[in-house]
Chains A and B, each alone.
Chain A
Amino acid sequence: MASASSGGVQRPTFFEGQIIAAADLNAAVETARVGLAQHERYLHLPGIAGGLELDAIERQTLNGDTYQDVTVKPGLAVDGNGRHLALTEAERLSEDVFDQANVAISDPAAWYPVFLTGRDDTPATSGAPQVACYGNAPTRVIEIVEIGFGRVEDAADPHNVATADIAGGPGAEGPPWRVLLGFVQWSSAIKRFTAVAPDSDGVRRSYVGVRADEVVAGGGTLVLRSAAKDSSGKVAVEIDGEDGELRFGAQNSSGAIVSVFTVNAQGDLFAAGQISGAEGGAQYQSGSAFDGMLLPLPPGVTAKQVEDGKVTFHAQVNPHYGAPPLPPAPAGHRWLMTPLECRVDDDRRVHCRLCWARTDNNAIPEIRPGSVDFILAAFVTA
């Protein structure tokens, strides 16, 4: 048996001949506004939806000091309460606002976060003349977006708290939600911005996301792109339900994925590159090494793993044959190379000594260190 609850939510409904009150119209608007905020708040992650980049132009003061004239480009963000923050025109960062924010520290290399916030502003009156029994109450609510600045440490933790009110609209009470747009540096001496960056110390502009435990493709293929479809060279992942394949690769100019890694429904794995670093597998290195050196480890195998006894090696070495490092032999004769020693010890160290003898027998054979050509297989245990 199910229990019924209104959930505290009501929406307006109308009947023929009803006298519509202002409250009824406001309720219609508010219902849609709350519904959209709920959708944004619970089905998406807050951040920048598009635009809002920090754009800087280098300028000089009258004293010749260089500074950056910073502008925020138009764009749209969504905050954690579901409020849309629309900046319809480019807006210049105000040095006065920064100075008054009192966030600057003595370090000229410090990066200060630039935030976008939103709030509603309701004028006291509509501005229309008051006539008879009609009031001049406001007829518009202005949705204001503000560009502000935080302390250095606010970038990593801007103290954003989403409303706990399920039925709440985007205009939650409490401090406004701050969407990070980027970073600026500040000169206290000239009271100007001196640099601009999209990220600092691992903290980046945050973009909108999606909350979902399950995503279903409508057309049979699901694609996850790191950039827009027309961004050639950016990587993407594709689940192709028709071919039964998971593919990873870079996008070409038409947005198609040039796969370098594919797994099919049978579990067959195709990799265009190398597979490294996997425990329990075999890693390989090959090349050449001079007497006394250690055979270089395969990529992904660490000295720590070797020290911990987690790696078993199999090495194959041969003398490296090449031009003799000796004066040319007389015409009709040549230097012959005979390996005296060509091995690798338990430490992977190369032992290679070569004896060079001339076919005319008129020179004393020379013994010199040499190089080996090697193949090293490393089997890493978990």
Chain B
Amino acid sequence: MAALMDLIVAGPENHVLAAAVRRDGSGAAPDARALVGDGLPIRNPATGDTLVTVLAEQLKVQSADLRDDLLMDARGFVIDNGLPEPGVAPAGTPVQLNGTTITVTLPYSAPSSGATVWVYIAGGQQPIVHQIQVTSAFSASEPLPLPPGPYGILVLAPKVRAAVATITLP
């Protein structure tokens, strides 16, 4: 029985996006491309449609002790001090777009040093990876012009489980 698992990790806060167990762990440790191909599709659970594809270059593989809760809910974990820990639930609306501005909201008040939120946005002409610094209170906004249309979004906020959203700009 394999005692270790491979975690697919993204972003500077090391959000777990997927996990796998290889019962035969011999040979070289796989890199992200070996486990996700060109990228990892983050899908809308309700429809199965791909919202965002996180490119393999933006992912890394981390080994961890085998845990069943990680397999059941990989996207709910964040690596903290090298170990996977359950992330806190995201705010009710973690991200908002209106065509000119992006607003991210944290489920906690940002520390004085600030909290960097990574937002992966797909649906425009090309995918966008946007960073927003939340320096105080719970949310922050920045200009982000986007044309009308449907957008799939992945939000990675420090210590918060990965969140997905779909927004259609009129």
> CB of B126 within 8 A of chain A?
no
Interface flags for B66-79 (1: CB within 8 Å of A; 0: not) read: 00110111111000
Q: Are A371 and B37 in contact (CB under 8 A)?
A: no
Q: For chains A and B in complex, what number of residue pairs have CB atoms within 8 angstroms?
A: 101
Interface flags for B1-34 (1: CB within 8 Å of A; 0: not) read: 0100110100000000111111110110010011
Q: Are B8 and A353 in contact (CB under 8 A)?
A: no
In the bound complex, CA of A304 to CA of B111 (Å)? 47
Which residues of B are found within 8 Å of A299, using beta-carbon distances? 24, 26-27
Residue of A nearest to B66 (CB): A288
Q: Are B45 and A293 in contact (CB under 8 A)?
A: no
Residue of B nearest to A287 (CB): B21
> Which of these binds chain B: A92-100, A145-153, A174-182, A318-326?
A318-326
Q: Are A284 and B24 in contact (CB under 8 A)?
A: yes
Residues of A within 8 Å of B, CB-based: how many? 35
Q: Are A323 and B43 in contact (CB under 8 A)?
A: no
Residue of A nearest to B50 (CB): A292
In the assembled complex, the CB of A334 is this many whole angstroms from the nearest CB of chain B, namely 15
Q: Are A292 and B42 in contact (CB under 8 A)?
A: yes
Q: Are B46 and A367 in contact (CB under 8 A)?
A: yes
In the bound complex, CA of A370 to CA of B30 (Å)? 21
Which residues of B are found within 8 Å of A340, using beta-carbon distances? 48
Residues of B within 8 Å of A, CB-based: how many? 35
> CB of B36 within 8 A of chain A?
yes
> CB of B41 within 8 A of chain A?
yes
Q: Are A287 and B2 in contact (CB under 8 A)?
A: yes
Which residues of B are found within 8 Å of A314, using beta-carbon distances? none
> CB of B40 within 8 A of chain A?
yes
Using A325-B69, A371-B74 as known contacts, say yes or no to A292 and B26 having CB atoms under 8 A apart.
no
In the assembled complex, the CB of A196 is this many whole angstroms from the nearest CB of chain B, namely 32
> CB of B140 within 8 A of chain A?
no
Q: Are B69 and A323 in contact (CB under 8 A)?
A: yes
Q: Are A296 and B34 in contact (CB under 8 A)?
A: yes
Q: Looking at the complex, which one of B23, B41, B68, B76 makes contact with A292 (CB distance below 8 Å)?
A: B41
In the assembled complex, the CB of B9 is this many whole angstroms from the nearest CB of chain A, namely 12
Q: Which of A343-371 contact B (CB under 8 A)?
A: 347, 349, 351, 353, 367-371
Which residues of B are found within 8 Å of A367, using beta-carbon distances? 45-46
In the assembled complex, the CB of B22 is this many whole angstroms from the nearest CB of chain A, namely 5
Q: From A289, A292, A296, A299, name the one whose CB has the most chain B CB atoms within 10 angstroms.
A: A292
Q: Are A322 and B71 in contact (CB under 8 A)?
A: yes
Q: Looking at the complex, which one of B19, B24, B26, B33 makes contact with A371 (CB distance below 8 Å)?
A: B19
Q: Which of A159-201 contact B (CB under 8 A)?
A: none
> CB of B102 within 8 A of chain A?
no
> CB of A125 within 8 A of chain B?
no
In the bound complex, CA of A63 to CA of B70 (Å)? 58
Residue of B nearest to A351 (CB): B48
Which residues of A are found within 8 Å of B97, using beta-carbon distances? none
Q: From B2, B17, B19, B45, name the one whose CB has the most chain A CB atoms within 10 angstroms.
A: B45
Residue of A nearest to B76 (CB): A325
Which residues of B are found within 8 Å of A300, using beta-carbon distances? 27
Interface flags for B35-71 (1: CB within 8 Å of A; 0: not) read: 1110011110110100000000000000000001101
On B, residues with C-beta under 8 Å from A are 2, 5-6, 8, 17-24, 26-27, 30, 33-37, 40-43, 45-46, 48, 68-69, 71-76
A-B contact pairs, 23 of them (CB 8 A): A276-B27, A287-B2, A287-B21, A287-B22, A288-B5, A288-B20, A290-B18, A290-B74, A292-B40, A294-B35, A296-B30, A297-B30, A299-B24, A323-B69, A324-B72, A340-B48, A347-B37, A353-B45, A353-B48, A367-B45, A369-B74, A371-B72, A371-B74
On A, residues with C-beta under 8 Å from B are 274, 276, 284-294, 296-300, 303, 320, 322-325, 340-341, 347, 349, 351, 353, 367-371
Supplied contacts A303-B34, A347-B37, 18 more A-B pairs, CB within 8 Å: A274-B24, A288-B5, A289-B18, A289-B20, A291-B18, A292-B36, A293-B8, A293-B18, A293-B36, A297-B30, A303-B33, A320-B72, A323-B68, A323-B69, A323-B72, A325-B73, A368-B45, A370-B72
Report, nearest first, the 6 A-B pairs whose CB atoms are least far apart: A325-B73, A299-B27, A290-B18, A287-B21, A289-B20, A288-B21
